């Protein structure tokens, strides 16, 4: 029996940090980035080891990640190695 796939917290931070750093000025993601103005930079800070995750920080990151998977219409349980993997999955579903 195989274990279910899931994205761990550090993986979520990695994907969100990539999004915030690379696309924060991108018009396509403007509304998403404005709405998630705490979760995205928080994920970046945790991913960069500038900040340590706390319970409330994990809630913000998890919520932001869930909103991203919903916006892109991709699995919220698949373990993505990078934002590019997630975007490729979203493109393949169009």
How much of the chain is helix, strand and coil, in % rounded to 5?
65, 0, 35
Within a domain: residue 93? no
Quote the number of domains for the chain: 1
Task: Output the pLDDT for position 2.
Answer: 45
Q: Is 54 domain-assigned?
A: yes
Residue 5's pLDDT is what? Answer: 58
Is residue 23 in a domain? yes
Domain limits for position 52: 9-82
Nearest to 13 by CA among 36, 55, 45: 45
Say if 94 falls within a structural domain: no
pLDDT at 6: 72
**Residue pLDDT, tens place only, 32-47:** 999 999 999 999 999 9
Residue 37 lies in a domain: yes
pLDDT lower than 70: segments of the chain = 1-5, 94
- pTM (predicted TM-score): 0.90
First to last CA, the chain: 32
Q: Coil, strand, or helix at residue 61?
A: helix
């Amino acid at each position: 029996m195989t274990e279910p796939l899931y994205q761990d917290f550090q993986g979520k931070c990695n994907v969100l940090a990539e999004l915030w750093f690379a696309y924060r000025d991108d018009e396509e993601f403007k509304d998403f980035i404005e709405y998630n103005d705490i979760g995205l930079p928080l994920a970046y800070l945790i991913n960069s080891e500038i900040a340590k995750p706390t319970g409330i920080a994990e809630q913000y990151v998890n919520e932001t990640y869930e909103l991203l998977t919903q916006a892109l219409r991709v699995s919220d349980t698949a373990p993505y190695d990078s934002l590019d993997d997630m975007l490729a999955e979203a493109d393949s579903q169009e």
